[in-house]
């Protein structure tokens, strides 16, 4: 059992974010003690970690909410969850592909700068020249 502050520390989220997630039904209602203070269980913490994993994949709160709703409804929603998870995977792979593209381009930019920095005479290059040279390498 963890207090709000402890749960926040463990997960790296703010107590406000935890309350927000609960309010948005991203996690089931957290148990309270006599003083109405939240008492996060290990299960709650794991649940939060699952949410963090989904957020890390930039899955919107609303989609997580839908997934969690199905999860709570149980076994009969298995196929829907299966399809959702498939979509998530495709989404993540798309994001990775975009980032890889940007990474490749940015790395070639870095290589370009390295080259120019090694040639002191060329450091008076203008931005007009730069992007011409850079684009010649095939931008986007």
- Which positions touch its own copies (CB under 8 A)? 43, 46-47, 49-50, 52-54, 56-57, 71-76, 78-79, 81-82, 85-86, 88-89, 92-93, 95-96, 98-103, 105-107, 109-110, 113-114, 116-117, 123-128, 130-131, 135, 139-140
- Closer by beta carbon to its own copies, 38 or else 48: 48
Structure tokens at 99: 């980032």
CB neighbour burial string for 14-29, b if at least 16 within 10 angstroms, e if fewer: eeeebeebbeeebbee
Residue 53 binding DNA, by CB under 7 A: no
3-state DSSP call for residue 135?
A: helix
Binding residues with DNA: total (CB under 7 A): 22
User: Residue 7: how many CB atoms within 10 A of its CB?
Assistant: 21
Q: Minimum Å distance from CB 38 to DNA?
A: 3
**Is residue 132 part of the contact set for DNA (CB under 7 A)?**
no
Bridge partners of 40? 2
- Strand-pair partners of 32: 38
Cβ distance to its own copies smaller for residue 15 or 134:
134
Binding pattern to DNA, positions 4-23, x when CB under 7 A?
Answer: xxx------xxxxx-xx--x
Among 11, 27, 38, 44, binds DNA (CB under 7 A): 38
Name the DSSP class of 34.
Answer: T
Spatial separation of the C-alpha atoms in residues 29 and 41, rounded to whole Å? 11
């Amino acid at each position: 059992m963890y207090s709000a502050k402890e749960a926040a520390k463990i997960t790296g989220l703010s107590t406000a974010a935890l309350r927000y997630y609960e309010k948005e039904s991203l996690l089931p209602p957290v148990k309270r003690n006599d003083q109405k203070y939240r008492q996060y269980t290990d299960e709650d913490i794991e649940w939060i970690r699952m949410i963090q994993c989904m957020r890390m994949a930039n899955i919107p709160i609303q989609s997580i909410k839908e997934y969690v709703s199905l999860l709570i409804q149980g076994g009969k929603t298995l196929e829907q969850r299966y399809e959702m998870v498939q979509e998530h995977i495709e989404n993540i792979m798309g994001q990775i592909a975009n980032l890889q593209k940007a990474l490749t381009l940015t790395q070639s930019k870095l290589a370009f700068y390295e080259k120019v920095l090694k040639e002191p005479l060329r450091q008076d290059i203008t931005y007009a020249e730069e992007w011409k040279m850079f684009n010649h390498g095939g931008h986007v």
